[in-house]
Amino acid sequence: MDTKPVPRRNSELTLPQRIGIMGGSFDPIHIGHLKVAEAARTAMKLQKVIFVTAHCPPHKSPEQLTPVQHRHAMVELAVKDMPRFEPSCIEAERSCPTYAGDTIRYYKQAMGNAGELFFITGIDALLTISNWDQSRTYPGICRFLIFSTSLPGPDAMSRK
């Protein structure tokens, strides 16, 4: 009789990874970032959320930012006791300016087709995405998870 081993539980099967990328200046990282990441992780059943400290985003002047090594150290401290959160300094290793699209492509290439990549960002960033470098290529690479702490009221919008 020819028998093949059969997994006893679903957890023994290899499942595709579902990874969230949360990029930001994190100057400083705060509880709001952590709450959004946890809400995204739970809602989308992500295996982990990677916090990518932006080195020198094109929309901010380097003089405005705390040095990247200090901001990244704050991220490391903030997530050190959270096993599903992982700090990444991938952008600190790149020359300026650094772009979210390069980071998204890096992680998608590392994952291959074996999983799904989710880019976690705020509604404020989504409203300016058409200005991002190579933004039209993002939809084929990742899914966007958009969060909002609050939307501006009519007074704030009329002041633009």
Q: pLDDT digits over 52-96, tens only? A: 999 888 778 888 899 999 999 999 999 999 999 999 999 988 888
Residue 28, pLDDT score:
96
Select 15-146's CATH number: 3.30.450.40, 3.40.50.620, 3.40.50.920, 3.40.50.360.
3.40.50.620
Q: pLDDT digits over 1-20, tens only? A: 444 443 333 333 345 699 99
In percent, how much of the chain has pLDDT > 90?
43
**Are 20 and 49 within 8 A, CB to CB?**
yes
Going from N- to C-terminal start, the domains of the chain cover: 15-146
Question: 């916090």: which residue's tokens?
Answer: 51
Enter the tokens of residue 58: 């094109």
**What predicted TM-score, i.e. pTM, was given to this entire model?**
0.79
Residue 154, pLDDT score:
41
